[in-house]
């Protein structure tokens, strides 16, 4: 069921059930992070590999001390700038966090989502919420309650509807496990913004299809094949790629302009006015729309590799990787 009743969501979560929640990035599939049985349901519903840990969602950084978690100085600085917001912090785990949440590793990921309804929900609860994106494992993340309902509606008792996600790609993940903080995933907060506050960080290792596979993740969160589209997706320039004969079955994703080659209804322009944030916000719904079409090929343009454009390119790259 889809609804907007925070009390219903709070009751279900308190009773160990799984509920989909809105955040500013994407919808999450949430359960009581301190209840291992409830957390196990998340893995089952998503069909998520047991080695892939979950992010803990809380409403205020002051809660971390209550759970025995220590905040490094540079993280403290980022917290005051970007939380609540689309930034996830990886820090050493404490005993309060069940091993199932961290997939047996000794680090935990935490974030403070910037969404009014979910902040209110978190304030009502006596526990934080473990929540991965609310999609079957390997699939594109949902940015509306309807997206969640289409794939997981039968398996969860409630989807808390908070409208369209405003950021549209997942949070940036930064690790504080080593002296120099390291970006593990590009997302809603840009590297440029982070470096303005804490100085140089390690950029995440560049992904390559052969180097990293689902069977051989270099680290949690580094699964190369992800965001799978139903039809083959390649990244390139529509003007230079050799196109298949039947152009009715070719679609494209472009940043700001239409082309003269493909039927107009097969062209998805993410931001007519050149705005990368708008492009990011629309990306995942467009990937879902493309799944509904009868296509042989999707050609995605490379986006400017700055700011949130890095997150867009990362998701497109992962969508382009097939087995």
174 touches ligand TXA (CB under 6 A): no
Q: Which residues contact 163 (CB under 8 A, 6 or more apart)?
A: 22, 144, 145
Q: Which residues contact 262 (CB under 8 A, 6 or more apart)?
A: 238, 247, 250, 251, 252
Residue list 122-141, contact with ligand TXA (CB under 6 A): 131-133
According to DSSP H, which parts of the chain are helical?
Answer: 6-14, 36-46, 63-66, 73-82, 116-124, 145-152, 191-198, 276-291, 309-320
Residue 148 φ/ψ, nearest 5 degrees: -65, -45
For residues 301 and 253, is the Cβ–Cβ distance under 8 A? yes
Residue in the structure block whose two tokens are 């496990």:
177
Nearer Cβ to Mg ion, position 266 or 285? 285
Nearer Cβ to ligand TXA, position 90 or 287? 90
Residue list 87-116, contact with ligand TXA (CB under 6 A): 88, 90, 102, 105, 107-109, 111, 113
78 touches ligand TXA (CB under 6 A): no
Which element (helix H / strand E) includes 127? none
Distance between CA atoms of 115 and 117, rounded to whole angstroms? 6
Considering only the stretches 6-14, 114-122, 130-138, 199-207, report the one whose residues sit in contact with Mg ion under the rule CB under 5 A. 130-138
33 touches ligand TXA (CB under 6 A): no
181 touches ligand TXA (CB under 6 A): no
- Which of ligand TXA, Mg ion, none does residue 85 bind (CB under 5 to 8 Å by kind)? none
In this chain, which of 184, 298, 311, 312 binds ligand TXA, going by CB under 6 A? 184
Q: Take residue 67 and report the two structure tokens written for it.
A: 């759970």
* Residues 85-124: x where in contact with Mg ion by CB under 5 A, - otherwise, as a string: ----------------------------------------
Sign of CA dihedral 38, 177, 48, 154: positive
Nearer Cβ to Mg ion, position 133 or 285? 133
SS3 state at 74: helix
Considering only the stretches 50-58, 127-135, 189-197, 208-216, report the one whose residues sit in contact with Mg ion under the rule CB under 5 A. 127-135
213: exposed, middle or buried (Cβ count in 10 Å: 0-12, 13-18, 19+): middle
* Residues 233-272: x where in contact with ligand TXA by CB under 6 A, - otherwise, as a string: ----------------------------------------
55 touches ligand TXA (CB under 6 A): yes
23 touches Mg ion (CB under 5 A): no
For residues 230 and 215, is the Cβ–Cβ distance under 8 A? no
- Cα–Cα distances (Å) from 193 to 7, 77, 136, 270, in that order, read 36, 12, 31, 23
Q: What is the DSSP letter of 41?
A: H
28 touches ligand TXA (CB under 6 A): yes
In this chain, which of 118, 133, 313, 320 binds Mg ion, going by CB under 5 A? 133
Nearest distance from residue 133's CB to Mg ion, in Å?
3
User: Which residues are at the interface with ligand TXA (CB under 6 A)?
Assistant: 23, 25-26, 28, 52-55, 86, 88, 90, 102, 105, 107-109, 111, 113, 131-133, 170-171, 173, 184, 219-221
């Amino acid at each position: 069921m889809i609804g907007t009743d925070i009390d219903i969501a709070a009751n279900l979560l308190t009773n160990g059930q799984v509920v989909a929640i809105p955040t500013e990035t994407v919808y999450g599939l949430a359960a009581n992070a301190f209840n291992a049985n409830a957390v196990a349901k998340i893995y089952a519903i998503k069909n998520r590999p047991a080695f892939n840990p979950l992010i803990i969602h809380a409403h205020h950084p002051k809660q971390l001390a209550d759970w025995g978690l220590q905040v490094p100085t540079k993280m403290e600085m980022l917290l005051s700038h970007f939380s609540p917001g689309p930034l996830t912090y990886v820090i050493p785990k404490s005993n309060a966090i069940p091993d199932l949440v961290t997939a047996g590793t000794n680090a935990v990921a935490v974030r403070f989502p910037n969404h009014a309804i979910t902040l209110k929900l978190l304030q009502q609860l006596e526990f934080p919420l473990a929540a991965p994106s609310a999609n079957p494992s390997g699939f594109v993340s949902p940015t509306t309650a309807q997206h969640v309902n289409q794939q997981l509606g039968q398996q969860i008792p409630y989807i808390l509807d908070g409208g369209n996600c405003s950021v549209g790609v997942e949070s940036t993940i930064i690790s504080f496990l080593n002296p120099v903080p390291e970006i593990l995933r590009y997302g809603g907060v840009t590297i440029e913004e982070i470096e303005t506050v804490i100085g140089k960080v390690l950029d995440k290792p560049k992904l390559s299809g052969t180097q990293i596979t689902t069977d051989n993740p270099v680290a949690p969160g580094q699964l190369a094949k992800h965001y799978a589209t139903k039809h083959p997706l390649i990244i390139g320039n529509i003007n230079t790629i050799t196109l298949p004969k039947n152009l009715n079955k070719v679609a494209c994703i472009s940043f700001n302009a239409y082309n003269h080659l493909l039927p107009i209804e097969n062209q998805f322009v993410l931001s007519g006015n050149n705005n990368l944030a708008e492009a990011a916000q629309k990306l995942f719904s467009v990937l879902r729309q493309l799944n509904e079409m009868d296509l042989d090929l999707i050609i995605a343009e490379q986006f400017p590799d700055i700011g949130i454009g890095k997150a867009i390119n990362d998701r497109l790259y992962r969508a382009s990787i097939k087995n």
